[in-house]
Structure 1
């Protein structure tokens, strides 16, 4: 009896994510995670799309080689310049400003870098080298302005200036197709830059001189006009100024004739008042005090004579009585001297008082005269002060114009000095030398760039394709994208009969992988091993029939009696020699027993119920209660019943079979089953109330325990082979 099983394979696709837990029984699926793009996923993508990435790498390297071959050689020459601050400034204010902001700072260096990169320097260098007339440099058929613009643009495009991070050295290079031209233009750019700096300084000084000359002429005119107005006003008002104060100070009352006279009279009045006070004091003290020294001097002789007579009188008094004639004569003479002394004292005192009085009266008269003169001059000075207000305004304007005129003259002299001794802040340190080798193309650099771009393009394309065609490829995809437990990953098998042979060999990778699935199924329910099991998939060709056979063979090998039912009534994988037996016959007949349609296989303890003849209405047959009776009868005779169901998408058969069997093993082809389709299939199964035990990943490329499947020589089945021969147990003998 020949029976066959379809085992299709194909390429990988990618679709969207989903939520598989909706509609499933509690505990049959978990909420999917969002793993992102981690290192393991990236390595898997690289492995899956390695040929695409290698092709992009090869293309990038090929493009780099072609670009290198097609790129004309260019040469680069370097020049080093030293930048120093200017030593002479135009004005003191500018010098202070530059010293405060730091003329030697990085800002000054950056400014010089900008000037070196300017179009003006490129145009100046092009003109100095006569590049517009060089037929090898620009198109000679264009007019002169056009050739100059072309030459300037070409010089500017080949210039590359490096901005120094520290120090005062600026390095720049020029790239040209000729080594000699590269060095020549680089050196000329440096010289043009130095000459341009000197010319700008000279032009700045010349501009300043012209500006100051105009300002000086205007200020001179204003000064002359203000001086004429001042003189005219002074003449009209009769103001005479005898002198001026310090330079720039306003004129005062003391500078006029009236002011000077008033000052002199005030000084004389003060002296007269002092004399009058002294004379008055002397007069009054002389009247009240009594004899003075001059009075005593005038009566000195009389007083001496009186003293002699008084002494004589006292001497004789001891001998004579006062009535004695001699005594009387002496007393008479003494009395006469007293009268003479008194008369002489009176005359001397009277003369002195008269003299003091005359002096006092003279001082008083002089004081009063000076007071009268000062009062008159005060009125005149006050009148002059009122008339001098406009004079002061005009005088201030004259002083201002004179100060401005002198300042402009001083600045004009400084500009002349600065323009004569100014030096350039730029000097050449290293001139450009003729390069010995081309700067571009650089084969090694181009290969590295091509390799990097090719690798980046390959990785980007692989990642884009990986996420564009969202398929289930690994165990993690089953868990994360579908929310299912992965019971096992089955590698691809190669050869005509390798799948059956691999099942016979318990040590083969395929057999070991299915053994892992069987082991997981033993603990998938609360009762342990499920009594009935439906094996289905999203679409056809995912290896569900192979999985059903492998699971059944593994259970049978462990001593369990297993019945494999081919429930695909549209495209059965297992065919018997005769169509008289099979599931279809049982579904259309209520009298026949299920045991009459069970056939032995080449595997011990493994029995097969083929599909039978293909009915026109498989879904109608399966929707009756007959299949439940058949499944119950088979479950009573065998330890486990495995149903090979058709795909879920587009058909109702699997949903009907799953609702009866109550346990489903979902088969997913690695790299072919799209996530969106698998999600939809799981939702449909969940709607039947079935218990989804987990998923088996077929044709997987994942490594098992660090060993690749290809290391063991496994490959894919023959695409043309769609059936697996099932030999009855008796036929083997």
Structure 2
């Protein structure tokens, strides 16, 4: 065990310059980097999504966005290129910003900004925003700009959403109101065009049709009676040569009819007004009958010598007149029946059309009622958002100027550099010893050749050789230990700091430091 330790110490001493050549650059570079890195300060702020101040059971806001989604939306808009460039140009939080391109500034701003959101069931929704910079005051200025942007976005987003909702329902109400007016006009126009065949008048038209049919049947019976009277009168006159008894004064049928009509007129005038249609119609018939009697009387005096023949002709003329009137009335009633039947036939089709128009109107009315209700709620929701009484973002912790940097940890970096240098140097010595293939001690003979030597004779050197070797080792080690750190210091000071050099090398090989 003691011999192994002595062997490795001797080996280390022999390879000391090589160890220093590896250890010193790593250790010195880590020291230079730790000392040259600027201090980084960090400030943070905390935001919370507050619930609506007005209970939803009383008045519901029209902006119903989950808190988590709202935070993600704000984070996305906050980290946009235009917004980051605007904040960076106003605050100048990045070192050597004037020498950087726009893309580099955006990458640096995104790397320096950290946003953490936390939410959970029955937990408040929080957002923590932090920013790192070499300038402590500017970290607060950046966060203030972020805070202003988030609060403005929150207010603008919610008021805009509420306003768009209200505008949509207002447009729907106006559109449906106009559509209802047009539909009402269509219904009125259809009713005016088909006023004689509407569903409401169907029962009336059916009763009127039955009444007209009864009147036509009655006229047909009256006509048959008149035809029978003509036939009997003609037969009686042909057989007897007269139409009635010869004794005493006998009124002609026309005169009897005239007296009957006058009696009926007197009865009607006692009940109806003088301009009543029935009274006027009866008076016209009386006037026509009197005219016919006067004409017949003149013919009898001037041309006829047979009174019986004259009476027969008068009676036949009266019957023909009655028949003609019955025929005319029957024709008029038939035409009226045809018109009423046509109205009845058109009524079902009009009913279907009118029902369709009314159904469309009812649907529009239902949509209008829903839109009006939505407009009322949207107006209330817009008022809630305008007064900031709905769900909103509020500040829990405002950013403050940091007094101590959060990085770099210089002691830790120096220790890691020294440890890395030691590990690299010792690892190189061990690797060279393992892969050299030379025999340095008797143990190597046993391991490498499989033979056990009887005795080993060490290499004997003179005192001058030992001193010369030692002097060379010490000199080379001192040269490496002095010249190499000075050389590295000159590179770090006059050419490029090691932190920048490391960043460029990392960027060249694709690493992100």
Q: TM-score, normalised by structure 1?
A: 0.34
Structure having the higher Rg: 1
Where relative contact order (Cα < 8 A, 6+ residues apart) is larger, the structure is: 2
Of Structure 1 and Structure 2, the greater helix share is in 2
